[in-house]
Amino acid sequence: MEEDAHKIVIIGAGPAGLTAAFQLSKRGETATVLEADSVVGGISRTAEREGWRFDIGGHRFFTKVPEVEAVWHEILPDEDFLLRPRLSRIYYDGKFFDYPLKAMNALRGLGIKEAVLCVLSYAWARVRPPKDQTSFEGWTSARFGRRLYHTFFKTYTEKLWGVPATEIKADWAAQRIKNLSLFNAIVNAMLPRRNQKDITSLIEEFQYPKYGPGMMWERATELVMAAGTKVIFNAAVTRIEHEHGRAVGVVTESGGVETRYEATEVISSMPISALLKAMSPAPPPEVIAAANGLSYRDFLTIALVVPESAGFPDNWIYIHAPDVKMGRIQNFGSWSPYLVKEGRTCLGLEYFVFEGDELWCAPDAELVELGKRELAKLGLVKPEVVEAGYVVRMPKAYPMYNDTYKANVDTMRAWLAANAPNVYPVGRNGMHKYNNQDHSMYTAMLSVENIYGADHDIWNVNVEAEYHEEKKAAPAAS
Ligand SMILES: Cc1cc2nc3c(=O)[nH]c(=O)nc-3n(C[C@H](O)[C@H](O)[C@H](O)COP(=O)(O)OP(=O)(O)OC[C@H]3O[C@@H](n4cnc5c(N)ncnc54)[C@H](O)[C@@H]3O)c2cc1C
């Protein structure tokens, strides 16, 4: 091998890691992908149990980045994509409400008395806006009034993050809800339909690989392996060795056995906190403290097989009822007929948890019973029609935006830039960014270009430009 040949090690076979490998293969370059798990796709995998395929939360494919769109279609042929209609509603107080919220639909559904109270509460928020708008509660109440905030935002958001809405940073609301307010929503509802187009386009339809997002990443793996890249499973990275201001080796552990991979560059989609803690020699205590300061929300899904007739037309339903723990229900039959079979559908009940808490540790059989009980409580599905149930746990599904996350990420970035600039953090937990697949992919694509001399600032990838459809449409998380 030539002296100056690249030995690129990629950590993680999720969307970011596999996109990096795919882009490298187009340059005729190979890499070694190290994946801790035994499957590809990361959070965007499609789990398979006894022939049922389901996502970790349904994954829509939409993007404003043409380069990302192009890669999707280079990996999968057009016939493997479905164009799916989107329907998602909020279930609250035994009623369904349109989601994204439509002012007239919401006010009508609440009944005349409650609607009037909501509008008055909104008017009050205009006159006397909450003083502290740095929290999710203050920010959202200012735009919708406290009453609508309590009905449509507080419960779900607190379930999602596991902390009071007063402790959730407005950053998150600003990213997901953007410029939506009750006033904008009412004005929008009154506009002729054609003027609403740019707000709702792309959101009402989305692309979806017919066997789920995992299909994309399974195919990407085949393509990069065919081009000579190694994808090594059950290979959790535990150490990144650095010397003289560069990373030089990556060490994995599998069944107590360590393996070392020499590296000229490291593209890392493992959580940035774990990356810094794996650097050897170790960074100074303040950098380790910054790594320890990042927090995550974990996720589990209970997939229940039910007759198709027990499903619903929605792709997913937000559950805003405080008396159940469930946050959202997916109906995978509505995502793709190829995910389900034999006149049945598969419902994915989503629970936001902390790794190690009561739900996370509960045995699968107990969780399946919990899922059945909660569906019955909501009046959505009778327990006796449930034919089978499976549980999938996903640690670190959501990077949390706590008070100190920005400062902590900056500390880690600065240390990496000074001590191992050939380590390229990419992706969701890799950069601690609450993002979608396209953002993960794009940061990986730009990092590959940086390896070959470009100078993209991947920390400043312009999310606004890429996601402007979401501006008015996404009060809750994906
Ligand atoms: C409920 C939910 C719904 C979502 N819906 C959508 C949607 O509709 N559309 C959309 O585009 N996006 C959606 N997303 C976001 C999407 O899942 C992520 O943006 C995407 O998977 C991030 O890709 P990634 O490669 O950056 O990280 P990940 O998917 O987290 O992949 C990282 C990989 O690194 C591996 N890894 C971690 N640590 C190590 C280690 N030490 N050594 C080796 N390997 C390691 C992991 O096992 C994993 O395979 C959703 C996310 C959630 C939680």
DSSP per position, 132-172: --SBHHHHHHHHH-HHHHIIIIIHHHHHHHSS-GGGSBHHH
109-136 exposure pattern, b = at least 16 Cβ within 10 A, e = fewer: bbeeebbeebbebbeebeeeebeebebb
Q: Are 473 and 181 in contact (CB under 8 A)?
A: no
Q: How confident is the model at residue 197 (pLDDT cuts 50, 70, 90)?
A: very low
Spacing, Cα 418 to ligand 1 middle (Å): 27
CA distances from 463 to 316, 376, 433, 435, 468 (A): 25, 40, 11, 9, 8
State in Å: Cα 399 to ligand 1 middle.
Answer: 11
With the most atoms of ligand 1 within 8 angstroms of its CB, the residue from 22, 34, 43, 216 to mutate is 43
What token pair was written down for 71?
A: 């890669």
Distance of CA 156 to the CA centre of its chain: 16
Distances from the Cα of 203 to the Cαs of 99, 111, 196, 409, 469, in angstroms? 11, 27, 12, 31, 7
299 lines ligand 1 (CB under 6 A): yes
146 within ligand 1 shell (Cβ under 6 A) = no
157 lines ligand 1 (CB under 6 A): no
Q: How confident is the model at residue 105 (pLDDT cuts 50, 70, 90)?
A: confident
272 alpha carbon – ligand 1 mean position (Å):
13
Region 145-163 average pLDDT: 90
Instruction: State pLDDT tens for residues 30-74.
Output: 999 999 999 999 999 999 999 999 999 999 998 989 999 999 999
pTM over 0.85: yes
What residues contact 340, with CB distance under 8 A and at least 6 apart?
Answer: 52, 308, 332, 333, 346
C-alpha–C-alpha distance, residues 423 and 426, integer Å: 10
Helix 15-26 / helix 213-226 crossing angle, nearest 10 deg: 40
The H or E element that residue 88 is part of is: strand 88-92
Number of H helices, E strands in the chain: 20, 20
| Separation of CA 115 from chain center | 33
**Using an 8 Å Cβ cutoff, are 368 and 273 in contact?**
no
Distance CA 390, CA 304 (A): 7
Assign 456 a pLDDT band (cuts: 50, 70, 90). Answer: very high
Q: How far is the CA of 60 from the centre of ligand 1 (A)?
A: 13
Q: How far is CA 119 from the centre of its chain?
A: 33
Of residues 302, 364, 325, 398, the one with CA closest to residue 47: 302
pLDDT at res. 186:
61
**pLDDT of res. 102:** 76
**Can you tell me the distance from the alpha carbon of 294 to that of 339, in angstroms, rounded to the nearest whole number?**
35
Which residues, other chains included, contact 465 with Cβ-Cβ below 8 Å and sequence gap of 6+? 64
Q: Taking the chain, what is the end-to-end CA distance rounded to the nearest angstrom?
A: 45
Distance 15 CA to ligand 1 centre (A): 7
Q: Is the CB of 437 under 6 A from ligand 1?
A: yes
pLDDT band per the 50, 70, 90 thresholds, residue 468: very low
pLDDT greater than 70 at residue 467: no
* 213: preceding bond cis by omega (within 30 degrees): no
**Integer CA distances (angstroms), 186 to 114, 137, 315, 462, 477, in order:** 16, 21, 25, 29, 22
Residues 6+ apart with CB under 8 A from 406: none
Please tell me which of 104-113, 147-156, 343-352 the model is most confident about, judged by mean pLDDT.
Answer: 343-352
pLDDT band at 173 (very low <50, low <70, confident <90, very high): confident
Which atom of ligand 1 approaches the CA of 438 most closely?
Answer: 11
Q: Are strands 52-55 and 46-49 parallel, antiparallel or unpaired?
A: antiparallel
Total length of the chain: 478
